[in-house]
A and B are shown apart, each in its own frame.
Chain A
């Protein structure tokens, strides 16, 4: 469904992503793990063109794009098939939960308002936020805001959802409710790429795990491969620091 080839990205003269390639098949749940600053968030952002890339090719549904020279229209075409969930939720602060979910449907996708509301309420129901549909972000906890953000992503009916550290900004007691929602999506076989530090979650949910460091992919494999028989010394060391959690 998606193939990323030789993605390179540098800030100033430092490569933060150096020759990243991997494939995503429909139904894949790919988790990207690695130490802070290894480039995993940048990778996700480059894939949705929130950051520019210096080199690389992205094939999406048999259509190949030159990531360094892509125009607005092509970016829009790709974004029509994707959704992005941010670490800091990034809900529209002047919109209620429901308005957040339907804004893109009405404004960008030109769906009729009552139809959009129907979809919006259905998605809020799914993440357990329907009874708070008229609350503003400032009236919601971080976990609730993130669930609304996930509903907003789902409403777009995307082919793939990118999760950028969806629980990293949350208080520990709020992490569970968000992970629960994502697990639900996994059961529905939704295609997702998840950047996360929640190792137990990653291990249980993923079809494939990618370990990154220093802008490279060090190792990739099934959760069993990575967590039980890591081939690379660096993967072992990294996972050792999470040993207690696992």
Chain B
């Protein structure tokens, strides 16, 4: 590697990593947390077959899964303000869109896991006097989330990388900065490799976290 490239690498590294730590990661974690809240509520509403709400949830999942994430970002950030819905910052807009997007997919994962929990436990819960919500919250949901955990982590790791799309709505995350640096240095090979490796690093850390948490979760059911 010649010295010019080396210098570009050194100069760019912190300019890419820093927004990674300060924007990409917070964006991912915030959106994922919200997505999980949405997913659990939607999954339970559909699992419990609650009238009207169930149809609203199905509509939501249909819309989100049927349209591209990039289009959703553009729609929310550039489209909605025309209807009077404005965003305090592109970051907030991105958090909401990613949360709604992942929430729809994750709700289906969780709904599937809820169905896989042996139904007899619900009846047993009734017979010891518990209410439906108590049974869901204390018995069924913990088992469902444990079963869904690997798939949900898939979603999280996918989201880390998808946040690069937010550069399109001016969120100054890692990829946004990388693109900016490329326009001034004309070294796309070096810089895109660099940013790719940082994404890989983030995903690798998350995969490690996944396997550690998975072991703990399994210990909780005696496996």
* Set of chain B residues within 8 Å of A50, measured between Cβ atoms: 123, 126-127
Digit string of A18-33 for contact with B (CB within 8 Å is 1, else 0)?
0000000000000000
The tally of residues in A whose CB lies under 8 Å from a CB in B reads 31
Is the CB of B130 closer than 8 A to any CB of chain A?
Answer: yes
Query: Are A108 and B123 neighbours in the complex by a CB distance under 8 Å?
Result: no
Question: Of B117, B118, B130, which is within 8 A of A108 by CB?
Answer: B130
Using a CB–CB cutoff of 8 Å, the interface residues on chain A facing chain B are: 48, 50, 76, 79-80, 82-84, 86, 88-96, 103-104, 107-109, 135-139, 149, 152, 156
| Interface bracket on B | 20 to 34
Query: Which of B47-55, B138-146, B162-170, B175-183 lies at the interface?
Result: B138-146
Question: Measured between alpha carbons, how far is A94 from B140 in the docked complex, in Å?
Answer: 9
8 tightest CB-CB pairs across the interface, nearest first? A104-B128, A136-B222, A108-B129, A90-B120, A90-B124, A84-B127, A139-B222, A94-B142
Query: Are B138 and A90 neighbours in the complex by a CB distance under 8 Å?
Result: no
Question: Measured between alpha carbons, how far is A83 from B123 in the docked complex, in Å?
Answer: 11
Is the CB of B121 closer than 8 A to any CB of chain A?
Answer: yes
Query: Are A79 and B127 neighbours in the complex by a CB distance under 8 Å?
Result: yes
With known contacts A88-B120, A92-B139, A93-B121, A104–B129 Cβ distance under 8 A: yes
Q: What's the minimum C-beta distance from B123 to chain A, rounded to whole angstroms?
A: 5
Query: Are A92 and B121 neighbours in the complex by a CB distance under 8 Å?
Result: yes
Query: Are B128 and A103 neighbours in the complex by a CB distance under 8 Å?
Result: yes
Q: What's the minimum C-beta distance from B187 to chain A, rounded to whole angstroms?
A: 53
Query: Are A92 and B124 neighbours in the complex by a CB distance under 8 Å?
Result: yes
* Set of chain A residues within 8 Å of B128, measured between Cβ atoms: 83, 103-104, 108, 152, 156
* Set of chain B residues within 8 Å of A89, measured between Cβ atoms: 120
Using a CB–CB cutoff of 8 Å, the interface residues on chain B facing chain A are: 117-118, 120-121, 123-131, 134, 138-139, 142-143, 146, 220-223
Question: Of B120, B129, B143, which is within 8 A of A86 by CB?
Answer: B120
Interface of B is mostly: helix
Q: Please give me the residue from chain A that is nearest to B129 by CB atom.
A: A108
With known contacts A92-B139, A138-B222, A79–B118 Cβ distance under 8 A: no
Q: Please give me the residue from chain A that is nearest to B218 by CB atom.
A: A138
Q: Please give me the residue from chain B that is nearest to A134 by CB atom.
A: B222
Question: Of A91, A108, A138, A149, which is within 8 A of B223 by CB?
Answer: A138
Given A104-B125, A137-B222, 5 extra CB contacts under 8 A: A80-B129, A89-B120, A90-B124, A103-B138, A138-B221
Q: Please give me the residue from chain A that is nearest to B117 by CB atom.
A: A93
Question: Measured between alpha carbons, how far is A84 from B131 in the docked complex, in Å?
Answer: 16
Question: Of B129, B139, B142, B223, which is within 8 A of A156 by CB?
Answer: B129
Question: Measured between alpha carbons, how far is A27 from B133 in the docked complex, in Å?
Answer: 35
Most chain A CB within 10 A, of B118, B121, B128, B142, is at B128
Question: Measured between alpha carbons, how far is A232 from B130 in the docked complex, in Å?
Answer: 43
Query: Are B123 and A104 neighbours in the complex by a CB distance under 8 Å?
Result: no
* Set of chain A residues within 8 Å of B146, measured between Cβ atoms: 94
Q: Please give me the residue from chain A that is nearest to B223 by CB atom.
A: A138
Question: Measured between alpha carbons, how far is A94 from B137 in the docked complex, in Å?
Answer: 12
Query: Are B134 and A48 neighbours in the complex by a CB distance under 8 Å?
Result: no
Question: Measured between alpha carbons, how far is A149 from B127 in the docked complex, in Å?
Answer: 11
30 inter-chain pairs at a CB distance below 8 angstroms, sorted by A residue, are: A48-B127, A50-B123, A79-B129, A83-B127, A86-B120, A86-B123, A90-B121, A90-B123, A90-B124, A92-B121, A92-B139, A93-B117, A94-B143, A94-B146, A94-B220, A94-B221, A95-B139, A103-B128, A103-B130, A103-B139, A104-B125, A104-B129, A104-B130, A107-B134, A109-B129, A136-B223, A137-B222, A138-B221, A149-B124, A156-B129
